[in-house]
Amino acid sequence: MQRMLRAAFAALWFMILTLPVLGISLNTVEHSVVWRWDRILGLGAGIFALAMLWDWCFARKAAGRPVLPLPGGFGLGFALEALRSRPGLRRCALAVLAVVMLLMPVAGSFYQTNIMISALLYVMLALGLNIVVGLAGQLVLGYVAFYAIGAYAYGLLNQFLGWGFWACLPVGGLLAVLFGFGLGFPVLRLRGDYLAIVTLGFGEIVRLTLQNWTSVTGGPRGISDIPRPGLFGVSMDIAASTTYIYYLVLVAVVITIVVISRLKNSRVGLALQALREDEIACEAMGVDITRVKLSAFALGSCWAGFAGVIFAAKTTYINPSSFTFMESAMILSMVVLGGMGSIVGVVIAAFILILAPEYLRAFSDYRMLLFGAIMVVMMLFRPQGLISGERRRYHISALHGQGGRP
């Protein structure tokens, strides 16, 4: 009963708020006011239903039950648990995934291959940011700056010095790392909100520099005619070249996943996680937090540098509007949605956030609305993200016997 009252109140409030916009229409020909009560009442009924649902969800949450009567994490957790506990199944799933990914450009259209390339690039970016935000707990909002640095490194080195893709790939990564250090040093003492603001500023500085340094970067016009990556001098048409880039990105993503999962489980990775949990305790336990923070920035930014070089090669044209704050926010959303620190979760989230808008073009008007709604609902009911609590398995000699790893 109380729930109905609350919902009715919410509906009433909403009706009052939207009355001027939705309920009143001025007829400028006859100079009269038309009241659209039907719309207002319809809206009220809708809000009433939504509020009831909302309340019900919260009641379930308060009672400690899952909001959706699905096994943990929208079925994802369940599937993952099955994969984790049965190595045979896991190998099968990985093989299927590998085959699908490998056949993708052959079976899919040119358009689909292109979408997949950008999705894979975002996977790389999200995994990189995952090191800084998810593992080390340093909230960085200007991550896209490193992406821009990678892309412009290739664009400019090619334009002025004629360097090719393969020479620029390591340089782009290295430059991003250097900028990562450059950002890392001044923000060593900052944490939380303050760090977020400074990094946000950093992202804007990089973008505005690219936009206004017209003599070098071409300003808002950007850099065009960037060559696609070469393959021992073989000449390729656009379709072949796109397929080639697809495989290149795929390999890059696989390397990223392998390297990051190894890092995560290493001595360095543990120190990163400890830094996220408690900085003072971390320091008192003998961890050099300056070093750990800087390595987090460096390790996170290098992937964005690599992804930037590949992005420039894929689009052959770059300008500052590709590197706005929206992109940073998007990448951060992938990390948060996927689950801080979880590699599988972040990969899935990146695919969802990039592929869903592409395949749901029909709803493109409501894209941001849906995006916001999903984020709000996620944070309320599953703040830990799609996948959480991944735990490394340890081999303890005293328990599991000497030698031989699990």
Residue from 127, 287, 310, 318 that binds other proteins (CB under 8 A)?
Answer: 287
Cα dist. 17→10, 22, 211 in Å? 11, 9, 41
Q: Which is nearer to other proteins, 3 or 276 (CB)?
A: 276
* Contact between 294 and other proteins per CB under 8 A: no
* Contact between 31 and other proteins per CB under 8 A: no
Angle (CA) 397-402-403 rounded to 5° is 115
Residue from 9, 194, 213, 394 that binds other proteins (CB under 8 A)?
Answer: 394
Q: Which stretch binds other proteins (CB under 8 A): 55-63, 100-108, 265-273, 344-352?
A: 265-273
Q: Which is nearer to other proteins, 235 or 402 (CB)?
A: 402
* Contact between 269 and other proteins per CB under 8 A: yes
- H or E element at residue 334: helix 325-338
* Contact between 262 and other proteins per CB under 8 A: yes
Q: Are 128 and 181 in contact (CB under 8 A)?
A: no
* Contact between 286 and other proteins per CB under 8 A: yes
Q: Which stretch binds other proteins (CB under 8 A): 122-130, 176-184, 195-203, 284-292?
A: 284-292
* Contact between 139 and other proteins per CB under 8 A: no
Q: In the numeric block, which tokens belong to residue 371? A: 């995006």
* Contact between 267 and other proteins per CB under 8 A: yes
* Contact between 8 and other proteins per CB under 8 A: no
Angle (CA) 28-29-32 rounded to 5° is 60
- Shortest distance, position 150 Cβ to other proteins, whole Å: 20
Q: In the numeric block, which tokens belong to residue 232? A: 């021992």
* Contact between 299 and other proteins per CB under 8 A: yes
* Contact between 285 and other proteins per CB under 8 A: yes
* Contact between 277 and other proteins per CB under 8 A: yes
Angle (CA) 78-83-84 rounded to 5° is 95
* Contact between 259 and other proteins per CB under 8 A: yes
The full 3-state SS of 85-135, as one line of letters, equals: HCHHHHHHHHHHHHHHHHHHHHHCCHHHHHHHHHHHHHHHHHHHHHHHHHH
Residue from 112, 118, 209, 273 that binds other proteins (CB under 8 A)?
Answer: 273
Using CB under 8 A as the binding rule, the residues of this chain from 213 to 232 that contact other proteins are none
Q: Which stretch binds other proteins (CB under 8 A): 69-77, 83-91, 201-209, 257-265?
A: 257-265
The partner residues of 33 in beta bridges, in order of sequence, read 26
Q: Which is nearer to other proteins, 47 or 287 (CB)?
A: 287
Q: Which is nearer to other proteins, 270 or 374 (CB)?
A: 270
Angle (CA) 291-299-337 rounded to 5° is 115
70-103 core/surface letters (b: 16 or more CB in 10 A; e: else): eebbeebbeebeebeeeeeeeeeeeeeeeeebee
Q: Which stretch binds other proteins (CB under 8 A): 11-19, 69-77, 171-179, 255-263?
A: 255-263
Residue from 391, 401, 404, 406 that binds other proteins (CB under 8 A)?
Answer: 391
* Contact between 271 and other proteins per CB under 8 A: yes
Q: Which is nearer to other proteins, 231 or 268 (CB)?
A: 268
**Could you give the string, one character per residue 347-386, with x where binding to other proteins holds by CB under 8 A and - elsewhere?**
----------------------------------------
Neighbouring residues of 302: CB distance < 8 A, sequence distance ≥ 6:
128, 173, 174, 176, 177, 180
Residue linked to tokens 């072949």: 240
Q: In the numeric block, which tokens belong to residue 42? A: 């319809």
* Contact between 397 and other proteins per CB under 8 A: yes
* Contact between 62 and other proteins per CB under 8 A: no
- Shortest distance, position 292 Cβ to other proteins, whole Å: 9
- H or E element at residue 24: strand 24-27
On the CB side of 314, CA atoms within 13 Å amount to: 25
The partner residues of 27 in beta bridges, in order of sequence, read 32
* Contact between 395 and other proteins per CB under 8 A: yes
* Contact between 398 and other proteins per CB under 8 A: yes
Q: Is 324 helix (H, G, I), strand (E, B) or coil?
A: coil
How far apart are alpha carbons 52 and 57 in whole angstroms?
9
Contact residues: other proteins, CB under 8 A: 259, 262-263, 266-271, 273-274, 276-278, 280-289, 295, 299, 391, 394-399
